[in-house]
């Protein structure tokens, strides 16, 4: 079993929503250390969600999107006697949230022809409705884990 990471970075809550989850999301959106640019993208996405979905609190949509894209199982490669096996494993809570955020961001970056905050808002809305690329990624991950159940006994 993995030992605990001793010096994990503790994120302070973001200034607008007072949420650590959103601050982590901002950190994942950030490129080349440009945190203000990442913040404006994320907050712009939340404003666009409020506008498109006509809701007061965009955080609820964001939370359901994260819940819908978080994988329960994943496959990890394991080498046994010269052969590589895809062994299904349960995903830890921290990794689950990391993967769901990362998949939403990557799906938004893959789209073309719009500013990033609008692409991100669209992907979050789609994920909250159980649609979109990030949800497809989760489904594919679950299918892979399901297809390789035979190798579950190799889990370490």
What domains, with CATH codes, occur in the chain? 20-71+94-138 (1.10.455.10)
Q: Mean pLDDT over all residues of the chain? A: 91
Supply the pLDDT for residue 20: 93
SS3 130: coil
Supply the pLDDT for residue 97: 94
Supply the pLDDT for residue 56: 85
What CA–CA distance (Å, rounded) separates 6 from 9? Answer: 10
Q: Answer yes or no: are the C-beta atoms of 31 and 20 closer than 8 Å.
A: no
Which residue did the predictor score with more confidence, 2 or 96? 96
Within 10 Å of residue 65's Cβ, how many Cβ atoms? Answer: 25
What CA–CA distance (Å, rounded) separates 45 from 123? Answer: 10
Supply the pLDDT for residue 4: 77
Q: Rounded to two decimals, what is the model's pTM?
A: 0.89
* pLDDT greater than 80 at residue 156: no
Mean pLDDT of 20-37: 95
Supply the pLDDT for residue 65: 95
What CA–CA distance (Å, rounded) separates 42 from 59? Answer: 11
What pLDDT digit, counting tens, does each position of 58-83 carry? 899 999 999 999 999 988 888 888 98
What CA–CA distance (Å, rounded) separates 34 from 26? Answer: 10
């Amino acid at each position: 079993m993995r030992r605990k990471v001793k010096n994990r970075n503790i994120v302070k809550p973001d200034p607008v929503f007072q949420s650590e989850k959103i601050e982590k999301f901002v950190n994942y959106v950030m490129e080349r250390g440009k945190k203000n640019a990442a913040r404006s993208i994320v907050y712009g996405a939340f404003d666009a969600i409020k506008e498109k979905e006509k809701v007061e609190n965009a955080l609820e949509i964001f939370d359901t999107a994260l819940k819908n894209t978080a994988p329960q199982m994943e496959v990890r490669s394991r080498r046994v006697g010269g052969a590589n096996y895809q062994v299904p494993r349960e995903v830890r809570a921290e990794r689950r949230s990391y993967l769901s955020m990362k998949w939403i961001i990557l799906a938004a970056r893959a789209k073309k022809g719009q500013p990033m905050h609008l692409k991100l808002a669209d992907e979050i809305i789609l994920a909250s409705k159980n649609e979109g690329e990030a949800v497809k990624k989760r489904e594919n991950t679950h299918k892979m884990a399901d297809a390789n159940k035979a190798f579950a006994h190799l889990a370490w």
